[in-house]
A and B are shown apart, each in its own frame.
Chain A
Amino acid sequence: MRRVVVTGLGLVTPLASGVEESWRRILDGQSGAGKISRFDASHLATDYACEVPHGDGTDGTFNPDDWMAPKDQRKVDTFILYGIAAAAQAVEDAGWTPDDRAELERTGVLIGSGIGGLNSIAETALVLRDRGPRRVSPFFVPGALINLISGQVSIRYGFRGPNHSVVTACSTGAHAIGDAARLIRDDDADVMIAGGAEASISEIGIAGFNACKALSTKRSDDPTKASRPYDVDSDGFVMGEGSGIVVLEEYEHAKARGAKIYAEVIGYGLSGDAYHITAPSEDGDGAERCMRMALKKAGLQPSDIDYINAHGTSTMADKIELGAVERMMGDAADKVTMSSTKSMTGHLLGAAGAIEAIFSILAIRDQVAPPTINLDNPAVETKVDLAPNAKRERKINVALSNSFGFGGTNASVIFRKVD
């Protein structure tokens, strides 16, 4: 069987642009939340979010000009810009820029988004209404389509292998990585650029999620305290934005070129709740079956899992996921550490599963579990170590990352240390 390993990482997060700087701030327990700066949000029920810090590129800030020429930035929605930036980081990290036609044909791209060019659609709808159809930009459609990160990345590097995309709400990033690993395992490609990107912090994005009663609304006075999974005072998720991209590679291919190997993708599970359009099934059945499928594919026992990066959005769903984890772990529940990095990044929707897969991979690399911050008064009683407010240095050979999305779509991906 063809094995799949991770050989490159790229991150644009609300903590920072760049893998190492984002990870350093995550381990430090910093929050990426603040008042919304990009538009006037004072009339919305939520006026805070976890925005990517834009700047000149120093001190972890995101400088769009570092990743795309200004004339081309105008032609794409911000989610595509974030995706291209994270993909460029990952490709550089992996050192994979072949010239050989055969190699390029064996390298594919599978990058998704939960919502895509929402803000572009909203703005263009206003142009259409106020100024008519002749003022609609020719770049509107290709700048808003979800699969256009995959398209843009393939064009930039000449990657001519499978060109695909995923749209499964907040499970997108995890599904993209899992599906891409399968394409390599099935011998459709040797290398895949995979992950997710999102940029929905806009008036229509916040208003839409407010209407679903999904967002935190009560922490305008201190947004850094708003994302607080498992805490009695949690009141909804905080919207985040950014992108996480990995380079996946067939093991022998990576070894043959002396690539740096972060971890192996050993398990992937998928399931559907068949329950409700926004709420997870209350018995946690979908989440549990999803994790069990990933474990079975990995050929592991629950007790083999050292770290779980929870979906943990800071909503009522946190308890349901925790219940599913407790049932799956059984007697080993007191051996595992599970944390929600969304306490720091907010919820990146279609990018969440991808950035959290990367945090799981880095947890294996550095043998440290990131913390769940703002967990001051637990709303749950559990044997599972939730790493409240401080990172946990511990043995981590195997890490599982969970993602669950609207529509009742679940994904779990398992990574293992490679010696």
Chain B
Amino acid sequence: MSDVANRVKKIVVEHLGVEESKVVDNASFIDDLGADSLDTVELVMAFEEEFGIEIPDDAAETIQTFGDAVGFISNANA
């Protein structure tokens, strides 16, 4: 797993209080990992903080799964 993926996973586990094994590529934050809409806002803030990037609101809406987050951040960092 990439460095980005590991760091994203750590944030997700910490913020949502879920088992690491549940944080897989197609795991939806809301449907599979127990997040509500406010949790997802906070997750995006945490990603911005961790990676020093800005994720605009319309882009944030497309980040539904762990895989989406890793993909977006990898591209933003590239």
For residue B16, which residues in chain A have a CB less than 8 angstroms away from its CB? 71
CB atoms of A138 and B41 under 8 A apart: yes
Contact with A along B39-55 (1 / 0, CB 8 A): 00110010011000010
> What's the Cα separation between A72 and B45 when bound, in Å?
17
In the bound complex, do residue A69 and residue B17 qualify as a contact, i.e. CB atoms below 8 Å apart? Answer: yes
A355 vs chain B, min Cβ distance (A) = 31
Q: Shortest Cβ distance from B50 into chain A, in angstroms?
A: 13
Q: Which B residues are in CB contact (< 8 Å) with A142?
A: 38
How many angstroms from the CA of A70 to the CA of B14 in the assembled complex?
9
B41 to chain A: which residues have CB within 8 Å? 138
A135 within 8 A of B: yes
Check A71 against B17 for contact (C-beta < 8 Å).
yes
- Total A-B contacts with CB atoms under 8 angstroms apart: 21
Say how far B37's CB is from chain A's closest CB, in angstroms.
8
Q: Are B17 and A138 in contact (CB under 8 A)?
A: no
Asked if residues A138 and B15 are in contact (CB atoms below 8 Å), the reply is no
Say yes or no: A139 contacts B42, CB within 8 Å: yes
A169 to chain B, nearest CB (A): 30
For A71, the chain B residues whose CB sits under 8 A away are 14-17
Grouping DSSP codes into helix (H, G, I), strand (E, B) and loop, the A interface class, with mixed when no group exceeds half, is: helix
A260 CB → nearest B CB, Å: 35
Residue of B nearest to A131 (CB): B49
Interface residues of B in 17-46 (CB under 8 A from A): 17, 38, 41-42, 45
Do A135 and B38 have beta carbons less than 8 Å apart? no
A68 to chain B, nearest CB (A): 11
Measured between beta carbons, the chain B residues less than 8 angstroms from A129 are: none
Give B42's nearest chain A residue, CB to CB. A138
CB closest chain-A residue, reference B49? A135
Assess whether A43 is interfacial by the CB under 8 Å rule.
Answer: no
Once the chains bind, are A139 and B17 in contact (CB under 8 Å)?
A: no
Within 8 A of B (CB), among A250-290: none
Report whether B15 and A137 are in contact in the complex, using a CB–CB cutoff of 8 Å. no
Task: State whether the Cβ of A101 lies closer than 8 Å to any Cβ in chain B.
Answer: no
Q: Cα distance A134–B42 when bound, in Å?
A: 10
B17, A137: Cβ atoms closer than 8 Å: no
How many of chain A's residues have a CB under 8 angstroms from any CB in B? 10
Q: What CA separation (Å) do A69 and B48 show in the bound complex?
A: 25
| Chain A stretch 97-140: residues in CB contact (< 8 A) with chain B | 134-135, 137-139
CA distance A139 to B45 in the complex (A): 12
Within A127-165, which residues are at the interface with B (CB < 8 Å)? 134-135, 137-139, 142
Residues of A within 8 A of B42 (CB): 137-139
How far, in Å, is A66 (CB) from chain B's closest CB? 16
Decide if B17 touches A135 in the complex (CB within 8 Å).
Answer: no
**Chain A residue nearest in CB terms to B13:** A71
B8 to chain A, nearest CB (A): 16
In this complex, which of A70, A135, A138 has the most chain B Cβ atoms within 10 angstroms of its Cβ?
A: A138
| Chain B residues, CB < 8 A from A69 | 17
The answer to whether A135 touches B45 (Cβ under 8 A) is yes
Q: Which residue of A lies closest to B34 (CB)?
A: A71
- Chain A residue at minimum C-beta to C-beta distance from B48: A134
Chain A 214-232 near chain B by CB (<8 Å), digits 1 or 0 = 0000000000000000000
Nearest-neighbour CB distance to chain A for B57, whole angstroms, equals 10
Residues on A with C-beta less than 8 A from B54 are 134
CB–CB B17/A70 < 8 A = yes
Complex Cα distance, B14 from A139, in Å, reads 16
Find chain B residues with CB under 8 A from A138 CB.
Answer: 38, 41-42, 45
- Tell me, in angstroms, the Cα distance from A139 to B49 when the chains sit together: 17
B40, chain A: closest CB distance, angstroms: 9
Q: In the complex, how many angstroms separate the beta carbon of A25 from the nearest chain B beta carbon?
A: 34
- Chain B residue at minimum C-beta to C-beta distance from A136: B45
Q: Which residues of B contact A135 (CB under 8 A)?
A: 45, 49
Least CB distance, A324 to chain B, in whole angstroms: 47
Asked if B15 and A134 make an inter-chain contact with CB atoms under 8 angstroms apart, the answer reads: no
- Report the separation of the CA atoms of residues A134 and B53 in the bound assembly, to the nearest whole angstrom: 12
Which 6 A-B pairs give the minimum distances between C-beta atoms? A71-B17, A138-B41, A138-B38, A138-B42, A69-B17, A139-B38
A-B contact list, 5 entries, CB within 8 Å? A71-B15, A134-B48, A135-B49, A138-B41, A138-B42
Which of B's residues lie within 8 Å of A, judged by CB?
A: 14-17, 38, 41-42, 45, 48-49, 54
Beyond A71-B17, A142-B38, 19 additional contacts (C-beta under 8 Å) are A69-B17, A70-B17, A71-B14, A71-B15, A71-B16, A72-B17, A134-B45, A134-B48, A134-B54, A135-B45, A135-B49, A137-B42, A137-B45, A138-B38, A138-B41, A138-B42, A138-B45, A139-B38, A139-B42
